[in-house]
Amino acid sequence: MLQLINNSLQKKFILITFMSVLVIAVLVSVFVASKTRSALYNATEQKGRMLAQTVSALIINELIYEQLGLVEEGGLIDNYVRELHEREELELVFVAVLNAHLQVISHSDFSEFGKYYEDPFVKSAQLARKVLVQKTQIQDTNINALEFATPLSIEGKRWGVLLFSLSLGNVEKEAKAILFQILLLTFMALVLLFLLVYFLSQRFIRPIIDLSQAMAEVEVGMVEKTIPVKGKDELSQLAESYNEMVRRIRDTNEEMKLAHEKLLQSEKLATLGVLSSSVAHRINNPLGGLFNCVRMLRRKGDDPEFRGNYLALVEEGLDSIEETVGQLLWTAGKREGEEKECEITSVLSGVVKFLDYRMGRQNIRYSESIPPGLKVPVPPHDLEEIFLNTMINSILGDMKNDGSSDNQHVGYEEFAK
């Protein structure tokens, strides 16, 4: 029963179903989270590109006005940069404007003013015709950022480069929050699914488990163990078929028991017949002699010598009958305190005496080849019963052949080699 519980079909069904759904749910969650994070990054990049195009147009106009002498040099650009950096919703890390020599002419961090930027990304932006983007990391932090660089040029006229960086800190926080929500919803869905699978398994798997347990009990005890039938589906039909099989097995078992009892009774009667004929012969022989002695004693009983001889014959016949009856009684019941070993030849000779008459009638010739004094660790009564049953079965087998064989041999050749 414990093995049946450990290997429960219901547990296997729940475990396999739950693990399969769990793997699928995790894969879907990771896929959705990855797509969501990618969408947030793309939205941030798109926002940065639009910002670069808008601000670069304003700065180009300012540079043109400065060349024409319409505005004060650098004043408006610094205002643009400062106001742009101060807008918290844009999440700008820094904003810088570089001239044609890649020297900083305006920066959100005043300490960067006048520096030259020589990195390949900025140099590539100076010669490019569109906004360039690269992923970087904010200095002294583990926060990622997107760096944008767009050329300040119109119709081949180049004034420099607009350079700024957008922080991805909030984007990553939002992505993590979405991932947490997805995992939480997935966990809740898995709990509900587990309960659903459990109740479904109770409905569809439990009848199979009950059937398996009932079959195990029938196998062990061979008793009628039926299971209740509920519904009209395939499982109910299976249960009904099992119940019908159990009933047929019960009926067949009862018939086999009756047939076995009849067979045993027939064998007992046949054995009794063989023994009766042998015992009757062993008693009839001395009885015939006793009757003759009685008749002779009536005629010549007055002669003392004659009477003594015939009385000795009477006593010998009675001893023979007593020996036969005593041996029959000894064979019929096992005695307490019996020895645990015996000599084969002595036991076998007693069995042969019982059956010699019947074997002679059926032309069965008996021979043996057993070393003298050979003993076996078997009580005499048990060994005699073995020999007696074996030889009786041989005699009965010969009777079934209508005694057609003139020469039947029951041989015990080299018994204990």
**In the predicted model, is pLDDT for residue 18 greater than 60?**
yes
Per-residue confidence band for 72, with pLDDT thresholds at 50, 70 and 90: low
Same domain, 100 and 160: yes
Per-residue model confidence as pLDDT tens digits over 286-323: 776 677 677 777 877 777 777 777 777 778 778 777 77
- C-beta separation of 300 from 306 below 8 A: yes
Secondary structure of residue 357 in the 3-state scheme: helix
Residue 320 lies in a domain: no
**What is the distance between the alpha carbons of residues 120 and 103, in angstroms, rounded to a whole number?**
14
Same domain, 223 and 116: no
Residue 239 lies in a domain: yes
pLDDT of 219: 53
Same domain, 41 and 159: yes
- C-beta separation of 392 from 277 below 8 A: no
Boundary of a domain, candidates 259, 277, 293: 259
Same domain, 99 and 178: yes
- Please report which residue ranges of 205-303 form alpha helices under DSSP H: 206-221, 234-300
pLDDT of 413: 46
Per-residue model confidence as pLDDT tens digits over 41-55: 888 888 888 888 888
Instruction: Give the position of tokens 């109740």.
Output: 199
Long-range contacts, stretch 311-314, CB < 8 angstroms, 24+ apart? 313/289, 314/290
pLDDT of 217: 65
Per-residue model confidence as pLDDT tens digits over 259-280: 888 887 877 777 677 667 767 7
CATH number of the domain encompassing residue 171: 3.30.450.20
Q: What is the mean pLDDT of residues 236-251?
A: 76
Range of the domain at 240: 210-259
Q: What is the mean pLDDT of residues 225-247?
A: 70
pLDDT of 113: 83
Q: What is the mean pLDDT of residues 35-42?
A: 84
Same domain, 94 and 175: yes
pLDDT of 176: 83
Q: How many beta carbons lie within 10 A of that of residue 204, not counting itself?
A: 14
Residue 85 lies in a domain: yes
Same domain, 21 and 137: yes
Same domain, 118 and 250: no
Same domain, 6 and 81: yes
pLDDT of 314: 77
Q: Which of 49, 417, 8, 54 is nearest to 212 (CA)?
A: 8
Residue 305 lies in a domain: no
**In the predicted model, is pLDDT for residue 173 greater than 80?**
yes
Antiparallel, parallel or unpaired: β 104-107 and 92-99: antiparallel
Residue 201 lies in a domain: no
CATH number of the domain encompassing residue 361: 3.30.565.10
Q: How many domains does the chain divide into? A: 3
**What is the distance between the alpha carbons of residues 77 and 373, in angstroms, rounded to a whole number?**
131
Per-residue model confidence as pLDDT tens digits over 195-211: 887 787 777 666 666 76
Q: What is the mean pLDDT of residues 312-336?
A: 70
Residue 291 lies in a domain: no
Q: What is the mean pLDDT of residues 370-399?
A: 76
Same domain, 130 and 226: no
pLDDT of 409: 45
Instruction: Give the position of tokens 């036969």.
Output: 324
**What is the distance between the alpha carbons of residues 324 and 329, in angstroms, rounded to a whole number?**
9
Instruction: Give the position of tokens 């926060």.
Output: 143
pLDDT of 312: 79
55's CB contacts (< 8 A; 6+ apart) are 80, 84, 162, 164
**What is the distance between the alpha carbons of residues 417 and 400, in angstroms, rounded to a whole number?**
32
- Please report which residue ranges of 163-233 form alpha helices under DSSP H: 169-204, 206-221
Half-sphere exposure of 65 (CA within 13 A, CB side): 14
